[in-house]
Structure 1
Amino acid sequence: MSFAAVVPLGGYAGWTFLTRTLESQKTAFADSPQQLSDKEYFAANIAGVKTAEHLVGDYRLLSVALGAFGLDDDLQNRFFIRKVLEDGTSSADALSNKLSDKSYKALSEAFGFGEGIPPRTGLTGFADEIFSAYTERQFEISVGEKNEDFRLALNVERELAAIASGELSDDGKWYSVMGSAPLRSVFETALGLPESFSSLDIEDQLQTFRDKATTAFGSGDVSQFADPDRMEKLVRTFLLRAELSDMSTGLSSGSIALTLLSGAVS
């Protein structure tokens, strides 16, 4: 029987339950028969993969490789993924450098094909590194099958923390947020931005994100979310707003404001 995340409640109460049981649920997921089988296969075979062609030709290996970077939907786009891998990342003309979703660049960097040197697949610890990332994201998918908002919240805690503590300029960090569909969704919901927001000029979007974040969290810098308290406030605000959007439209604006304020104080 496949693993199923335990998410008995929705809303912020459900999120509190999930975070309280997170480590035990992750352990149960990692120990599930399918995960153990995939881990054994990946560890036994990935070191022998020396080309992008070889990787995309092995469905099970490619599933783990793409899943580790949140690119599961590209499993059938083998020609495209092979091109991303074979181009590497060192050239400005490399395909991954031209794509707004930097998950492709991260994938290409991780495997190291197309760089004129042996790929990273044979390095000690490589299999564990990739499979650990795969397990993390697959667990999030399992949670998302029960509650997609919780999946987004888990993703933002992992992905945004890395961006916030990174060495990019603040503009670069915001562009990384804006280029990630899950992170953008969390921020747009938490900051109360309309669906039409993404049609604005990119520089106007950047300034709006910065201004709204300043109002909501006290700073317009992405770096603030390296602070666990700021991260928790972002996640809480996102979940409360997402929950309200799913509720009856009969709520008055006053009731919505009171709910948000109550969540902010709790």
Structure 2
Amino acid sequence: MLSTYTSYKLITRDLDRSLTLKASERQVALESDYYLENIGKVETIDDFLDDTRLFKFAMKAFGLEEMSYAKAYMRKVLTEGISADDAFVKRLSDDRFTQFATMFNFEGKGSSAVEGSAVRQGVVDRYVRQSLEVSAGEENEGVRLALYFQRSAASVTSAYGILADEAIQEVVFTALGFPDEMKAANIDRQAAAIEARLDIASLQDPKEVEKLLTRFTALWDAASSTNTSPLLMLFETSSAPSVGLDLVMSLQNLKRGGY
């Protein structure tokens, strides 16, 4: 079985090709075509919500597929929009809803909310990327988390931003070696612990993000191995290729060291 890092790199080494292959898959292509053919017919929030296939496509594009059934909830998100200081989305901790309401800005743009390339091909591109991540997660949830983090890390501007997104939090907590019990601590203590170990500004640098993901994927695989030390597993299968001491030491240092 491929390691989490190897699987992640196979996808991201030529990300454009990976996305093109995903977009060409029959089901993805069919849903994308339906969206592009029908989104222009939408003039109101009711039009949008009433076309379940169209609405579910848009929700999946923003990683909200599990909320597709909650049309009353999403009606409130779209109706109140993003303009008012007390708008519903501004009281939610999950930024995906703000992104969704910003893209489908019926409150601000009315019937012209679905015009323009961003709300058409841009949403399709999001759907394809989301589909790629979901399919990767079916094989290895760590790969899905790594892909999501690579895509989303630059949007994080504070430790609280990390804590507001469960997937990003999982990557950071794993990479920093925080125990699961940390998630039950006071949120301010969690934020302080993150700030003490991680330069939040480094998430704007793709090279630093890759370093963090290298650590995350190694520790994810180590934690996923049950009853056996990840280092001992390197030597237990006699038919496996030999592993140099330098690699073993690198893995050990990676597990012990800070980011």
Match of 2:122 among 119, 123, 129: 129
SS at match of 2:147: helix
Q: TM-score, normalised to structure 2's length?
A: 0.84
Give ranges in structure 1 of 5+ residues lacking alignment: 1-7, 165-169, 214-219
Measure, in 2, the Cα distance between the counterparts of 1:139 and 1:209. 29
- Give the match for residue 217 of structure 1: none
Counterpart in the other structure of 2:173: 188
State the Cα distance separating 1:37 from its structure 2 match. 1.5
Using the TM superposition, name which of 114-123 and 246-255 deviates more: 246-255
Q: Name the CA distance, whole Å, in 1 between partners of 2:211 and 2:110.
A: 44
Partner of residue 244, structure 2:
none
Cα gap change, 1:260/1:22 in structure 2, threshold over 3 Å: closer, same or farther?
farther
- The yes-or-no answer on 1:82 pairing with 2:82 is no
**Which of 219, 222, 225 in structure 2 is aligned with 1:244?**
222
| Structure 1 or 2: more helix by fraction | 2
Q: For the structure 1 residues 31 and 116, does the alpha-carbon distance in structure 2 shift closer, same or farther, using more than 3 Å as the test?
A: closer
In the other structure, the counterpart of 1:210 is: 195
Aligned partner of 1:199 in structure 2 is: 184
Superposition deviation, residue 33 in structure 1: 1.7
**Separation of aligned partners in 2, 1:178 and 1:262:** 24
5+ residue gaps, structure 2: 234-247
1:165-190 superposed Cα distances (whole Å, 9 cap, x missing partner): xxxxx4xx322221111101100111
Identical aligned pairs, as a percentage?
A: 26
Deviations 1:91-144 (A, max 9, x none): 222211111111001100111022364442023452101111111111110111
Distance 1:23 1:110 in 2: 23
Q: 1:212 to 1:64 in 2, by over 3 A?
A: same
Deviation at 1:31, TM superposition (A): 1.0
| Compared CA separation, residues 74 and 258, structure 1 to 2 (3 A) | same
Distance in 2 separating the partners of 1:45 and 1:140: 25
Q: Which amino acid in the other structure matches residue 196 of structure 1?
A: E
Shift of 1:23: 3.5
> CA–CA distance in 1 between the matches of 2:249 and 2:88?
45
User: Judging changes above 3 Å, is the alpha-carbon distance between structure 1 residues 67 and 252 closer, same or farther for their aligned structure 2 residues?
Assistant: closer
